[in-house]
Amino acid sequence: MAAESRGEAPGRGRLTGRRILVVGGGQDDRGQDDAPVGNGRAMSVLFAREGARVAVADRNIQSAEATVALSMNGVAIAANVAMPDDIVAMVGGAAAKLGGLDGLVYNVGIGVGDPWLAGATAESWDKVFAVNLRGAMLTLKAALPVLADGSSVVLISSIASMKPGSRLPAYDASKAALTGLMRHAGIEGERRGIRVNIIAPGLMDTSIGREATRGRPGRAKTPVPLGRQGTGWETAYAALFLMSDEAAYITGQTLAVDGGMTGLR
């Protein structure tokens, strides 16, 4: 794999001076001693490596602090996006600690309940939507008035929003609904040059991905055109591109980081 895919490439100053809030920037190792880097931690570390100051928000403050220790250029914030008051405090706190915001990543998603519609319940459906969609909406609502003109917003979705696969209807539906939210936020931000885009990772070799494979071993045999699962760093580099001025003319788009699964399979 390339140095970027391994997280070993040096920074090139692509985000110098930026102030970015990464929601879900901690990491849940799921009890794995050799857990690979997750999307949120990889993005936080990479943004800092590229010159940004980063506010790492997570419901697990110790995990957020561990990410900050790796990035060497940020602050940790405790926030549970299932709690509306936490979201308001998170955005306000990040802006205060960084002296403003010109970047936002919403990297939070859960999938709970038994598979298929037969296993779905009203309770599990509401729990998933409260985190995956309502939390994103409330974060955007709080952040848009605070974000500087020309800012960039990235919502982390999943290729489950584009093709069936997770077997969890609430997860698939909530991730698909992020597209409508992204487009609306893009319209609200267009007069101020605020860009809003989505990244949809595919099969990724993260701790959560490995746990999913343990529960459904056939996942590891899924044919990926590029021959392997992705890394958290590859999600992070896609986010870096969208966060940077290199993507200054891109908004309202979904970028699949999936080794070709949606385009070629």
Q: Count up the domains in the chain and report the number.
A: 1
Please say if 106 is a catalytic residue. Answer: no
CB atoms within 10 A of CB 116: 10
Q: Which amino acid is at 252?
A: G
CB atoms within 10 A of CB 127: 16
In terms of phi and psi (left: phi > 0; alpha: psi -120 to 50; beta: otherwise), the region of 203 is beta
**Is 30 within a domain?**
yes
Distances (CA, A) of 181 to 59, 117, 197: 23, 24, 10
pLDDT value, residue 189: 98
* 101-106 vs 147-156, strand pairing mode: parallel
The Cα 156–Cα 119 span in angstroms is 25
**Is 141 within a domain?**
yes
**Is 10 within a domain?**
no
Tokens standing for residue 145: 């008035």
CATH of the domain at 129: 3.40.50.720
**Is 80 within a domain?**
yes
Contact criterion met (CB below 8 Å) for 23 and 90: yes
Tokens standing for residue 250: 């891109």
pLDDT value, residue 34: 80
The Cα 67–Cα 23 span in angstroms is 12
Q: Which domain holds residue 41?
A: 15-264
**Is 3 within a domain?**
no
**Is 224 within a domain?**
yes
Q: Which residues of the chain have pLDDT under 70?
A: 215
Tokens 């920074």, located at residue: 11
pLDDT value, residue 82: 97
Distances (CA, A) of 237 to 2, 19, 93, 244, 245: 12, 17, 26, 10, 14
Among 106, 171, 237, 249, the active-site one is 171
CB within 8 A of 198, min separation 6: which ones?
A: 154, 155, 156, 157, 178, 179, 182, 253, 254, 255
The string of pLDDT tens digits covering residues 11-62 is 999 999 999 999 999 998 777 778 899 999 999 999 999 999 999 999 999 9
The Cα 55–Cα 35 span in angstroms is 23
221: three-class secondary structure by DSSP: helix
**Is 2 within a domain?**
no
The Cα 197–Cα 151 span in angstroms is 12
pLDDT value, residue 75: 97
The Cα 103–Cα 156 span in angstroms is 14
The Cα 248–Cα 25 span in angstroms is 24
pLDDT value, residue 14: 98
pLDDT value, residue 221: 76
pLDDT value, residue 72: 80
Distances (CA, A) of 71 to 91, 146, 179, 243: 20, 24, 30, 17
**Is 114 within a domain?**
yes
